[in-house]
Structure 1
Amino acid sequence: MKRVLLAAFLCAPLFGVVAAPTEATGTDPFTQGSAEAGAAKAAPCAACHGPGGNSSNPEWPKLAGQNARYTFEQLQHFKNGVRKNPLMAPQAAGLSERDMRDLAVYFAQQPASPGVASENAVARAEPLYRGGDAKRGIPACAACHLPDGAGVAAAGYPRIGGQHARYTAVALRRLRAEHAAASEPLPGNLGVMAAVAAKLSDEDIDALASYINGLQ
């Protein structure tokens, strides 16, 4: 294993400017949440997602450094049932919209711990991540998630760089299964990612998940 330092989610126009949190207030321009208020509400989250959102369990995602818009939207999805998860659903059920906004901004401002990728994953994953596969209709991951995996907050495209490989692999397989089971297209960015995941093989998913874990 070796750390890969390189310069799940895809195929939409990039936004040139990503607004940053307001320094004076700690608020976020997209969610209008407060990092200070979120810090006071985040203690229960640490049980699974770790202190500051840096989960040590590879099955639970790191939240640290994730853009606030994406985290806010996912909490809404867990609460309204768009995303189904037996652990997150009851947690989100008790959150108000203000709670979600504040928590999202708090985690966005926490420094994310780096990941490690397998050197063996690079040969398969790097071409897919950077250039996609036109023959299979797979767009480049970097088109929406950027070369370093930072994502685009203005579009709600998540940060994926440094995310646990196991979590990413499970998420891509879940999206692939949801696409196969859906009787009609899934909504928004969820539908875009599900359609892309449907074209990935197990080997693609495992290689991409490892490669993404090493992006910084």
Structure 2
Amino acid sequence: MSFRLAGCRPAVVNAVALVLALSSSAVLAQNAKVAAKPNAPAPVASAAKPAPAASAPAAVAPMAAPHDDNWMTTTKPGDATAGQAKAAACGACHGMDGNSSDAQYPKLAGQHEMYIAHQLHSFKSGERQNAIMLGMSTQLSDQDMRDIGAYFASKQPLPGVADQALVEHGQKLYREGDPQRGIPACMACHGMDGRGNPGAMYPELTSQHAQYIEAKLKDFHNGVIWGPAAHAQIMPTVAKNLDPQDIAAVASYIEGLHVADHGANAKSP
């Protein structure tokens, strides 16, 4: 965001000049009086003291626009062909086909169209904080977001591999949860095979990088919330009851989840 100073009107300039002149006269008169008293201390002209500069915070989060999901009903279904060209810049981090090679960036291949579009919208509005994604999403229209979502939804996620030492614990949490500690089963929202629920805005998790899942669960555990929407409040509530071992285990298990027939997911609205 850039800022510019508004132009000064002549009347304002003249008024400022008059105030400065009067201030200077007052200071000269005060100095003259003090000169008549040899032992008097030198005067300090308060008018000449610079005003303290306003200290800007090191990082200021952009103000989120009021939450509004009307764009979800006023846009057309995404066009995967148009989305391919629009998603070209996304490939640098997420892979040209949505299969990121760097585990810190999520796989987008096979993710639901509207989930991708909704997250892009949240980055653009500032409801979800990420400096890189804010810059990437700022120039996108709502229709662009749906087109990009449709493109990645049409792609097949490459399967991942779970750490065998973590599978038992991760599987138990994913499929059964831990009611005594207030941890619901992950599959209650994300499905047995990790496909998620596009209508409820629950993302697909299957084959997602364990490193990315682990990082997001830690964020949720620490109270990070991705906007005011009702579905965005769920994960921080769930993750606060997970300990580091739980997080590592369920993240690894999710990476090993595979979907035998993923083609149907590409047709999700």
Q: Secondary structure at the match of 2:217?
A: helix
Q: Is the 8 A contact 1:122 1:211 kept in 2?
A: yes
Does 2:132 match 1:87?
Answer: yes
- Residue 197 of structure 1 corresponds to 239
1:33 equivalent in structure 2: 78
Structure 2 CA distance for aligned equivalents of residues 174 and 33 of structure 1: 30
1:114 to 153, 159, 172: 159
1:52 matches 2:94:
no
Aligned-residue sequence identity (percent) comes to: 46
In structure 2, the CA distance between the partners of 1:215 and 1:144, relative to structure 1 (3 Å rule), is: same
Q: Closer, same or farther in 2 for the Cα pair 1:97/1:142, shift >3 Å?
A: same
Matches of residues 71-150 of structure 1 in structure 2 within 5 Å?
71-150=116-195
Does the Cα contact within 8 Å between 1:31 and 1:68 map onto a contact in 2?
Answer: no
SS at match of 1:87: helix
**CA deviation after TM superposition for structure 1 residue 164, in Å:** 0.3
Distance 2:126 2:139 in 1: 14
1:38 and 1:106 in contact (8 A); partners too? yes
* Offset at residue 82 of structure 1 (A): 1.1
Spell out structure 1 runs of 4+ moving beyond 3 A.
none
Cα distance change of structure 1 residues 31 and 208 upon mapping to structure 2, 3 Å threshold: farther
> Is 1:153 matched with 2:198?
yes
- TM-score, scaled to structure 2: 0.66
Task: Name the SS of the counterpart of 1:170 in structure 2.
Answer: helix
Larger RCO, structure (CA 8 Å, separation 6 or more): 1
The answer to whether the Cα contact below 8 Å between 2:127 and 2:228 also exists between their aligned partners in 1 is no
Aligned residue number for residue 4 of structure 1: none
Q: Within 1, Cα distance between the matches of 2:198 and 2:172?
A: 24
Q: CA RMSD in A?
A: 1.6
Match of 2:257 in 1: 215
* Alpha-carbon distance, 1:186 to partner: 5.1
| Cα distance, 1:163 vs structure 2 | 0.3
Query: Partners in 1 of 2:143 and 2:102 — Cα distance?
Result: 28
Would the aligned equivalents of 2:81 and 2:151 in 1 still touch at CA under 8 Å?
A: yes
Matched residue type, 2:184? P
Cα distance in 2 for residues equivalent to 1:188 and 1:31: 24
Counterpart of 1:200, as a letter, is L
Give CA deviations for 1:66-89 in whole Å, capped at 9, x if unaligned: 011111111111111111011111
How many pairs align?
183
Unmatched 5+ stretches in structure 2:
1-74, 259-269
2:219 is aligned to 174
User: Which residue does the alignment assign to 1:21?
Assistant: none
Q: Report the Cα distance in structure 2 between the residues aligned to 1:173 and 1:93, rounded to whole angstroms.
A: 27
Paired amino acid for 1:193: M
Structure 2 CA distance for aligned equivalents of residues 35 and 172 of structure 1: 30
CA distance in 2, matches of 1:72, 1:92: 10
Give how far 1:187 is off: 3.4
Deviation at 1:103, TM superposition (A): 0.2
SS at match of 1:129: helix
CA distance in 1, matches of 2:203, 2:170: 19
Larger radius of gyration: 2
